[in-house]
Structure 1
Amino acid sequence: METPTSTGPHTGRRTGRPGRRAALALAALAGAVPMLAGATATAPPAVAEPGDNARFRQLNKQVDQLERSLGGDLAKLRDVQFDANRAIQRAKDLRAELDASRNLVAELAANQYMTGGGDPTVQVLTAGDPSNVLAAMSLSTHLAQNKSAKVQQIQQLVVDQEKAKQEADRKIQELEKEIADLRSQKRRIQSLMKKFKPQSPAFGLGGITPRMKQVKDELDRETGPFPQIGCVRTTGDPQDHARGMACDFMVTTGGQMATGAAQSLGDRAAAYAIAHGRRLGINYVIWRQRIYSMHSPGWRSMSNRGGVTANHYDHVHISVY
């Protein structure tokens, strides 16, 4: 193969070499792909890192330590942790999507240029819809003519990834704040735990603790009846249910959103549990995608888990100490 120091004969004008062509194509691509929709070529925009993984891992350790020291599931803390993890994963996915799109478009441009397709900048910008590139569909579908749409969609990936990174950072900050809040209330929580010492599930009570049995019976008597009350389970995300320390007071069945009388039933049950929580040893109440912790009074919104039941729109969840 010819090298820069080769002394072999040359005839006429030197022909372009494939390696040099590929380099030219990729160099041209660096200016072409990140262009703003209108535009003149600019340097590629800085792409945000997906999220501070080391920081998030350290916060996860702190969550586990707090949960152990406070003797049980900290629902709101776990909820914020879930949100942060989901935001970081979305940022990572978008970053991977952006990297894949750039790599595939670069490969397409280089291949077309090396096969005599002409100027790589023009070919990249007229290669078609980048969403098709991202989907790794047939290269033949990338021969669209709309330059502005091509540039805008690639640029949109950069914008979306930056927004996802900012959201991940915001969720990590929320997790840090939640940890700090819990630490500041640690003595109060521990005093409640000392007052309501943990109980073991009783098989004669269906696997729930005596305290949970008292709450279940009183709520059913004072605010019910309910279509169904479910307590012990070990599947899905059981948390306090697995330890017999939680019950779900269903106000509808079949995953239907509670409205009218059913919603009023849930409102009454939640209000009663909160009003009598300190006497009954209730830890927290979840209803309609909100949580009320007895150690930190007031309703607080929770993350969207994606469904009526997962977001507690068809039942009131009550956990005890």
Structure 2
Amino acid sequence: MEARSSARRRRAVLAVAAAGILALPLAGAVPADADPGDSGRMEKLNRQIAKLDRAYGGDLAKLKDAQFGVQKAMKSADTLRKERDDAQRLVAQLAANQYMTGGGDPALTAISSDDPSGFLNTASLAQHLATNQAARVQQVQKLIDQQEKARKEAEQKIEDLQKEIDDLKKQRKRIQALVKKYKPQSPSVGMGGVTPRMLHVKQVIDAEFGPFPTIGCTRPGDPQDHGTGRACDFMESSGGSMPTATRQQNGDQVAAYAISHASSLGIKYVIWRQRIYDMRSPGWRAMENRGGITANHYDHVHISVF
């Protein structure tokens, strides 16, 4: 009789605790999801980028990097939205099930049974349930905050990309005159697959600042300048390691030389230490994080030519 009474008390407390969890408020209202129109805006921006790319000598490095940043931010916001929704559904389901059945977490099945020799008393059982569920609610709130931050970042990056496109459009005459200055060249047999202009830049840079651990140029299948023989990577270290202070200084000198002699050498843009300098829109611009030393150009100076 006493055992049955104890079990009833336990189930009653569990029901009350679960009901309390259902009533736990989140710190703020769930923010709006990413505007469905963002995808449509990006499609329009992508078409503008493709048009400018053809008109301005191809491979607009700064613009392509900004485009990459938008895509990454939109993907992050979408992933966090799905995680948030999944977590919210889980908390709601668990709380509802516990309220309806008077049961606890699976881990508490044994101690909430009719056996009066359970490990926890009624008060500690309720406290455990409340603490466990409150933690889940806090996790949902954290995901809500993260998703809102990612959504705002994606929107800001879209706005920034539009501004960059508008700025390039305003400079159409200057950029087209710059592009027209350099006659298009094709990769030549016997030159390692690079264009005569790229070969000349490679020889000049190597003579001024070499030797380099390696110089990599053509990359079959690359959708950008490596694939057309118009780019070379001047490595300052090997194996994906960070260059020494001396080699970093050498890279700084290579980048500075390429920029200052860009007009005479026909250089289109330079990438070094996660920054891009495009002659069509002069000035260093921070590059989106690509996830590694080589991908972020910390171990090599990338030089592309017209």
Do they fold alike, i.e. is TM over 0.5?
yes
TM-score by length of 1: 0.76
User: Which one of the candidate residues 260, 269, 276 is aligned to 1:275?
Assistant: 260
Tell me if 1:202 matches 2:193: no
Judged with a 3 Å threshold, the aligned counterparts in structure 2 of structure 1 residues 99 and 243 are, in CA distance, closer, same or farther, namely same
Aligned to 1:225: 211
Q: Does 2:293 align with 1:308?
A: yes
- Partner residue in 2 for 1:32: 23
Q: Runs of 4 or more off by more than 4 Å in structure 1?
A: 28-31
Residue 30 to residue 113, structure 1, CA distance change in 2 (3 Å): closer
SS at match of 2:142: helix
Q: Measure how far apart 1:151 and its partner are.
A: 3.3
Q: Percent identity?
A: 59
Aligned equivalents of 1:314, 1:206: Cα separation in 2: 22
Structure 1 residue 176 and structure 2 residue 167: aligned?
no
- In the aligned structure 2, how far is the partner of 1:176 from the partner of 1:90? 20
Taking CA–CA contacts closer than 8 Å with sequence separation of 6 or more, which of the two structures ends up with the larger relative contact order? 2
> In structure 1, what is the Cα distance between the partners aligned to 2:159 and 2:25?
31
- Pairing of 1:127-206 with structure 2 (within 5 A): 143=129, 145-146=131-132, 148-206=134-192
Matched residue, 1:45: 29
What is the CA-CA distance between 1:29 and the residue it aligns to?
9.5
- Looking at structure 1, the residues matched to 143 and 183 of structure 2 have their Cα atoms a distance apart, in angstroms, of 52
Does the C-alpha gap of structure 1 residues 107 and 149 become closer, same or farther in structure 2, counting only changes over 3 Å?
closer
Report the 3-state secondary structure (helix = DSSP H, G, I; strand = E; otherwise coil) of the residue aligned with 2:184: coil
Distance 1:202 1:144 in 2: 72
- Alpha-carbon distance in structure 1 between the residues aligned to 2:26 and 2:261: 62
Deviation string 1:99-128 (CA, Å, 9 cap, x unpaired) is 11112222223333333449xxxxxxxxxx
Q: CA deviation at 1:148?
A: 4.8
1:31 positional shift? 6.4
Distance 1:59 1:29 in 2: 49
- Preserved contact between residue 29 and residue 106 of structure 1 (Cα < 8 Å): no
Q: Kindly state the Cα deviation for residue 158 of structure 1 after the two structures are TM-superposed.
A: 1.2
Report Cα offsets for 1:249-284 as digits up to 9, x if no partner.
Answer: 011111111232111211111111111100010000
Q: Which residue of 2 aligns with 1:214?
A: 200
Name structure 2 gaps, 5 residues minimum.
1-18, 105-127
Deviation at 1:147, TM superposition (A): 5.7
TM-score (norm 2): 0.80
Segments of 5+ residues of structure 1 without an aligned counterpart are 1-27, 37-43, 119-141
**Aligned amino acid, residue 82 of structure 1:** F
**What SS is found at the alignment partner of 1:226?**
coil
User: Which residue in 1 is equivalent to 2:273?
Assistant: 288
1:229–1:249 Cα contact (<8 Å) kept: yes
Rounded Cα–Cα distance in structure 2 between residues aligned with 1:239 and 1:153: 42
**Per the alignment, do residues 221 and 289 of structure 1 end up closer, same or farther by CA in structure 2, a change over 3 Å counting?**
same
**Could you tell me which amino acid in structure 2 is paired with residue 208 of structure 1?**
V
Does structure 2 conserve the Cα–Cα contact (< 8 Å) formed by 1:33 and 1:154? no
**Aligned residue for 2:124?**
none
Instruction: Give, in angstroms, the shift of residue 46 of structure 1.
Output: 3.4
Displacement of 1:185 after TM fit? 1.7
Distance 1:213 1:112 in 2: 72
Paired residue for 1:100? 86
Aligned 8 A contact 2:225 2:231 in 1: yes
Counterparts of 2:47 and 2:86, CA distance in 1: 33
